[in-house]
Structure 1
């Protein structure tokens, strides 16, 4: 398998395309609502337009706030992000009549890349239940060694096509487009955060588990050799 790499320009362009795709629909609805306000004298239609503008503005704001943390440089002045902020943007982005989001996590600051990873895994969990359902996010452990378990339960649940290879950085096509950039980016963030991501499915439930990457066997052996050397080679 060939690992795909993207240069900085291609990666930024594809992520920008992804964000634009997410916000263009509510922004377009706002424009439509404003046009109705300009052209209609009917009180009923004007009320409809105002309601459309309100809902679409909230949706656009929620999507931009989510993208700011999940894909952007939010909190760039520091190395940590509050998990409460991550919960708020996830609920704003995905909490609706179709999908229910539950969130269990400590009130704590976690390393930025680990928070970005869990938000990107929420995006993938949503795609695992195309008809909607319940997504449960559980975060345990300390910031330096957390465990994320996301379960997505709903009708027609499935591990999203190609997502495992995209996260591994080895897409079957050998290329990455704007449609595939989000799981590919999630894999980049997982490696930067030194986390392994695994998928499983049972019945109508997909489970995504992310935990600290295991140290290569050679690294463990090197540590043991170093300890033996410090103890005079007696292994005591």
Structure 2
């Protein structure tokens, strides 16, 4: 692993920790409240909040395991239903985003699944006021083709993330926010593929073509 790879791995770990801090912190706070609370109705509410925080934590861990990690429990091909379950769970925790899927293959190579999940994550973060997340993926002519479109009343897309998708953010300029996009660029480049994105006032469209070797 090169120094650059070590830096990228460290930033991805920082990103994971940042995203997990809120639900795990809610679990800790809920347990503290439960220890001091005597009222039955309030205790019931505490248990509901603990259950919700635990589900959110588990959903995010499963998502990041495949989006960022090696996901050793899978082979070279990953069922697209797995990616759909992970994204739907993440959106379900958000509550303001509707997912629409168009999947032309039952399974995709692991790099394509990682790309689909990370583009979905970028799309979810762009929909700060909610909206529709459209996801399409298929194997075609020896390559995996992926398209993710986020459309809503307000699109919040950090230009630095776009630059990272284009391979223009490296080294000291990388951050935990841009690291997933930088990882996608390196992954696509290593496979001889490419990434694209287009941004308008009400939509962010991202795509990837990844040769299958």
| Global fold match (TM > 0.5) | yes
Q: Does 1:32 align with 2:29?
A: yes
Q: Which residue of 1 aligns with 2:175?
A: 177
1:55-74 alignment runs, 5 A limit: 55-74=52-71
2:132 to 115, 131, 134: 134
Structure label with greater radius of gyration: 1
Q: Which residue of 2 aligns with 1:86?
A: 83
> 2 CA distance for matches of 1:184 and 1:89?
21
> 1 CA distance for matches of 2:182 and 2:80?
23
Q: Which residue of 1 aligns with 2:100?
A: 102
| Structure 1: 5+ residue stretches without partners | 214-236
Structure 1 stretches of 4+ with a deviation exceeding 4 A read none
Q: Which residue of 2 aligns with 1:187?
A: 185
> 2 CA distance for matches of 1:143 and 1:120?
23
Q: Which residue of 1 aligns with 2:209?
A: 211
Task: Tell me: CA distance 1:22–1:159, structure 2 relative to 1, closer, same or farther (3 Å).
Answer: closer
Q: Which residue of 2 aligns with 1:41?
A: 38
TM-superposed CA distance for 1:212, in Å, is: 4.2
TM-superposed CA distance for 1:73, in Å, is: 0.9
Q: What do residues 170-190 of structure 1 show as CA deviations (whole Å, max 9, x unaligned)?
A: 128952122221221222222
Q: Which residue of 2 aligns with 1:224?
A: none
Q: Which residue of 2 aligns with 1:17?
A: 14
Q: Which moved more, 1:162-171 or 1:20-29?
A: 162-171
> 2 CA distance for matches of 1:176 and 1:167?
12
Task: Tell me: CA distance 1:85–1:150, structure 2 relative to 1, closer, same or farther (3 Å).
Answer: same
2:120 to 108, 122, 132: 122
1:145-160 alignment runs, 5 A limit: 145-157=143-155, 159-160=157-158
> 2 CA distance for matches of 1:203 and 1:85?
31
SS at match of 1:178: coil
> 2 CA distance for matches of 1:199 and 1:183?
11
SS at match of 1:74: coil
Contact 1:36 1:45 in 2 (8 A): no
> 2 CA distance for matches of 1:143 and 1:73?
26
Task: Tell me: CA distance 1:179–1:207, structure 2 relative to 1, closer, same or farther (3 Å).
Answer: closer
Task: Tell me: CA distance 1:23–1:143, structure 2 relative to 1, closer, same or farther (3 Å).
Answer: farther
Task: Tell me: CA distance 1:173–1:8, structure 2 relative to 1, closer, same or farther (3 Å).
Answer: closer
Q: Which residue of 2 aligns with 1:221?
A: none
Contact 1:113 1:189 in 2 (8 A): yes
SS at match of 2:177: coil
Task: Tell me: CA distance 1:143–1:76, structure 2 relative to 1, closer, same or farther (3 Å).
Answer: farther
CA RMSD of aligned residues (A): 2.2
SS at match of 1:118: helix
